[in-house]
Amino acid sequence: MSRFVERAENTARVLDVTWRMSMVQRDPAISEGEWYAPLNITGTLFPFQGRYSQVRADQVLTFMALDPANPASILSCAKQARENARAVRVSLTSEMWEVINSTWLELSKLSGKDLSANPQAFFDWVKERSHLFRGVTLGTMHRGDAFQFLRLGTFLERADNTARILDVKYHVLLSSPEEVGRAVDYYQWGSVLRSVSAFETYKRVYRDAITPLKIAELLMLREDFPRSLHFCVREVFDILAKLSPSPRAEVLRLGGELDARLRFSRIQSVFKDGLHEYVIDFLSRTQALTEEISSTFFRSHLEQPAQTQDPAVPPLTSFSS
């Protein structure tokens, strides 16, 4: 449930930044090229091209925001979050359920509508609903295992999304020397930061010009920024330490290994060895951790003849699932 809520917010963030960047670009060809990013980040370029002949702003907005046939769309995420919430209704507070349910009802009314006239208002609304759900959860939910699993899903999804943004945008962070310093180049780097609400944080932490090395360091290795890879993985590891059935469990080992890798990495070494390769390795390790979480906490219980928990509760899955 929490992964779908976070996923809807992340998709809204990426679409919002893409829309803003397409408005900045003066070259129509480059402007339309910006719309490949949301499809690549969510891994939906192939199904999109199977239904549309061109990658255009209006078509990508429809496909990524309100298309019920696209499992990665904001509408589909809201529906899945609502269905999962209904399956575990007894573990949620009434306020949490009301936010999830009302969000889905409002989105279902928009299905099939054209957002290209004023998409930013829609993106802001989606982000606000996610923030509202998170705030209500922190303010009303009992701090038991259900709360810990909800946080676990949130941080796994957030880390996955930040890594995907870095992977798709890494060519921006590795611009050629001739391109560095251009106005468009500055806006491209700024768009990477804004996609994870990191622009103000960057200015506060580094207090100087935007550089690719420091952008990558903030989004990957800083432990004090709540959408960085390191922050999210550290939270995941701490939660797994509370939930793990054994201090020597494989799920805890994988989480600790990933946390240590980020803790002791240096951004200069990451760039030297290859930013793209580092991010791909991170996504692979995160996927392995996700599968081990599912095996440890969900699948083993669901395979037992005597069910002790609701079989409708789905295991944690990867983004592509």
pLDDT 10s per residue in the chain (321 long)? 999 999 999 999 999 999 888 877 656 655 567 899 899 999 999 999 999 888 988 899 999 999 999 999 999 999 999 999 999 999 999 999 999 999 999 999 987 777 877 899 999 999 999 999 999 999 999 999 999 999 999 999 999 999 999 988 887 667 654 554 455 567 778 888 999 999 999 999 998 788 888 999 999 999 999 999 999 999 999 999 999 988 889 999 999 999 999 999 999 999 999 999 999 999 999 999 999 999 999 875 555 444 434 433 333 344 443
Residue 212: per-residue pLDDT: 86
- Residue-range domain boundaries for the chain: 1-141, 143-321
Residue 203: per-residue pLDDT: 93
Asked if 316 and 294 touch (Cβ cutoff 8 Å), the reply is yes
Asked if 107 and 75 touch (Cβ cutoff 8 Å), the reply is yes
pTM of structure: 0.88
Distances (CA, A) of 14 to 20, 196, 217, 255: 10, 8, 20, 27
Residue 21: per-residue pLDDT: 82
Residue 311: per-residue pLDDT: 38
Residue 319: per-residue pLDDT: 41
Residue 199: per-residue pLDDT: 93
Residue 301: per-residue pLDDT: 53
Closest of 218, 254, 261 to residue 237, by C-alpha = 254
